[in-house]
Chain A
Amino acid sequence: MKKIINRIKEKIEIVSLKQRDDLYFINVKEEHIIFLLSYLKEQEGFTHLAFLQAVDYDKYNMFQLTYMLYNYDIKVNFGIKVIIDREKSEMTSIHKLWAHAWQYQRELHELFGINFPGSPRVDESFVLEGWEEIPPMRRDFDTKEYSEKTFYQRPGRSTNDPKEYMKEKLYKNFVEPPKIRREDD
């Protein structure tokens, strides 16, 4: 695996590298990703695309995509991470490299709003039929607000605020802070 990493280094810049025995992660630049994936698939035996996932780093205005590859010969998982602009939220499709990637891309399009132009049926609903909100895996999606407005409360529910409840139970005679007394009071 070291040799593979070294061969990659000769070809492109590796931003960072993390490793375990059977699992490697590298971060690369966006412009190198298609080249690197084809190279790993065709030349280094990483023939299987296990999954493609995203993480929303909204504070830094970016998405991180992870392409998880697997090599059946040396039994190594290899995660290729790349940062893309959140504003643009668009990435080159890889369905020509792995046909089943269209399904992952369709999922990311729905859940994160990342577009993959040219990817088959990328606009179709994946699991969220009739979804009208912002993509739910984006961090600015307010899950609680959505659940409150969408799903009605079962009748008969009531709750207590610990601070107020303890006041009621333990120090009912609490002296409220005085207001400044003025002439007209």
Chain B
Amino acid sequence: MNLKDILSPFSVWKRAVKKPWTIKEPINDRPGAENYRGFHKNDFDKCIGCGSCEEICQNNAIDLVPVEGQETKDGDSGLRPKIDYGRCCWCALCVDVCPTGSLTMSNEYTWVTDDPEEYRFIPGADETKWQEEKKGYKRSEDIQLINYDRAEMLEFEPKDRDKSFIEIIKGYNKEQAMAEADRCLECGICTATCPAHMDIPAYIAAIRDDDIENAFRILYETNPLPEICGRICTHNCETACALQNQGEPLAIRWLKRYIADQISPERYKEVLGTEHLADPILNKKVAIIGAGPAGLSAAYYLAILGYKIKIFEALPDAGGMTRYGIPEYRLPYDKIEEDIDYIKALGVEIQFNTKIGKDVSLDELHNDYDAVFAGTGLHLGRSTKIPGVDNKRVYFATDLLREVSLGNEIDVAETIIVIGGGNVAMDITRTLARLQNQKYGKVQIITTSLESEDIMPADREEVVGAREEKAIINPGWGPKEIEIKNGKIKGLHVVKCTSVFDNEGRFNPKFDQNQKKFFAGEMVVESIGQGMDLSYLSEDIKSSLKLGPRGRVQVNENFQSDLKWLFVGGDIIQGPDVIHGIANGHVAAKAIDDYISKNM
């Protein structure tokens, strides 16, 4: 044993003259390791208040609380985690599960205070000295508690689908659906964003439990058109999904379709418990104008409530825009029928080929029925009004799509130009591409829009799909003039569109007149938006209504107009899309029930 070994224990004596470590003088010269699991940090810009941290915490140490300045909005509950350090064991499961990556840990590990209540704090809101600390624990890439990749969806390859109207998406099988449902965190943030406020986490949980009948019942609570919505819903819910922050959002729409596809139509009544729904139990009648999503939804919920319902439809089949606007390759007609047949089976009568204002007047409906719901949709095309649009080979997309659905033949040109960048433009592009393929064996169609690629309103998969089917999508151009020679269209002159919206977000396109282009083609289709046909409102009725900008009928939050018996909803009020129509119909049904009950 040497001298050092004997003396070294005495070195601790040097502390004898130092002040002890106390609240006022804590140990502060021993930083935690680089990846130390110290006190929590939360990046409020990223956090969406989904509560996954609270859910996974094995010590029940986390509460979700409102925080001043954090707004509750689409995709963000406005709640933030508050951690009780009396319970936290620094296991970091909350950091590992966080779907936004907002929650991390610093390497700070000393915190001295004489007030135990301070140890319950909201990282990110309560000021802490470690909020800006860069070091500390973060989820490493190889730890994945969440599966960020979607279960694969099978679809027909372009070569197998581009000549026919066969449904492209094949749908999930049980295994795929279970795998996809398993990704759901059940935070429920999507429910607020869905216009119908569907209980999405509940029906996905039912898929996971393989209780499809229960899932189906949950769908019908807020949406009586699940086959339709499961295919072509605009799925706003998916843009709010917590998973989309670091990966692919849950395929909510495809899961809805999976549920609806599992129950065969003849079992609907049995599963939904409407087998014994006899004739309408109330001696009250409601007329509905238009068998589109809004009208069908109102009809369904009113039928459940015991009303006698009659729908007046101008066209020969039900479904509205879902039938006459959306092509069959996205939504097969027999699937629309499944939804509608069930509503009819509840006693709802639909009178086809009957136009209100022409065959029957609105006044007659008012006299014969206790209330009227109008969901007449946007079936008129809107024009760019550029020189040349009065040529007979210039069409509206809505008209052509309707003709195709009616089974009428279209005089398809060999070269076509479509103007528009929304889903309807993609629908007509891909429809015409198929017809060109059938007629000419090749596709020569150019679709152009004001909006550049990054701000095109169409769903991404629609743009990709159209290109796969050999249509040319060339966005970012403003139409200037259709060139016509001897009455025949030669093509479309366009100029570069530099911006579509001004700083206040208003539609106010700017062009660079020096950048020109010419698209050759013999036929032009305009698809820049739809208008409504309110010709069924007589002058007398119109004068009793409040009309807003663009002639829109003003309604209260229950979709009731100034004429108390007249309710209006769907695309002519909100949207345009299917799910707003369904939501409107549901709310209006309740309001109509209240209105009629009051007058009984």
Chain A interface residues (CB < 8 Å from chain B): 143-144, 147-148, 151, 153-154, 157-167, 169-171, 173-175, 177-183, 185
Contacts and interface: CB of A to CB of B under 8 A. Distances in A.
Given A147-B59, A159-B65, 14 more contacts: A143-B58, A154-B84, A159-B54, A159-B62, A162-B188, A163-B189, A166-B191, A166-B192, A169-B72, A175-B589, A177-B222, A179-B304, A180-B273, A180-B277
A181 B302 CA distance: 10
B60 A153 contact: yes
B120 A167 contact: no
Nearest to A166: B192
Interface string B255-283: 00000000000000000011001000110
6 closest A-B pairs by beta carbon, nearest first, are: A163-B188, A177-B221, A159-B63, A162-B77, A166-B192, A143-B58
A148 B58 CA distance: 9
Interface string B173-216: 00000000000000111011000010001000000000000000
Interface string B57-91: 11110111110000011000111000010110000
B41 interface: no
A181 B64 CA distance: 38
Contact of B78 (A151, A169, A175, A181): A169
A117 to B, nearest CB: 33
B533 to A, nearest CB: 28
21 contacts: A147-B87, A148-B60, A151-B87, A161-B51, A161-B188, A162-B49, A162-B50, A162-B187, A163-B192, A165-B72, A167-B191, A167-B192, A169-B78, A170-B192, A171-B192, A177-B220, A177-B221, A178-B305, A178-B589, A178-B593, A180-B274
Given A160-B79, A163-B188, A181-B306, A144 B557 contact: no
Contacts, number: 104
A170 to B, nearest CB: 5
Contacts of B301: 178
Interface of B: 49-51, 54, 57-60, 62-66, 72-73, 77-79, 84, 86-87, 120, 187-189, 191-192, 197, 201, 220-222, 273-274, 277, 281-282, 301, 304-306, 557, 586-587, 589-590, 593
Contacts of B78: 165-166, 169
A173 B66 contact: no
A88 B593 CA distance: 65
A157 B547 CA distance: 50
Contacts of A180: 273-274, 277, 304
A159 B60 CA distance: 11
A56 to B, nearest CB: 16
A29 B390 CA distance: 84
A78 B221 CA distance: 59
A174 to B, nearest CB: 6
Given A144-B58, A178-B301, A158 B63 contact: yes
B65 A181 contact: no
Contact of B197 (A174, A178, A179): A174
| Most interface-central of A157, A161, A173, A175 (chain B CB within 10 A) | A175
A143 B87 CA distance: 13
Contact of A171 (B187, B197, B306): B197
Contacts of A151: 59, 87
Given A167-B192, A171-B192, A162 B587 contact: no
Nearest to B50: A162
Nearest to B188: A163
B58 A175 contact: no
Which of B188, B220, B301 has the most chain A CB within a 10 Å cutoff? Answer: B188
A79 to B, nearest CB: 19
Contacts of B84: 154, 157
Contacts of A171: 192, 197
A159 B66 CA distance: 9
A173 B589 CA distance: 14
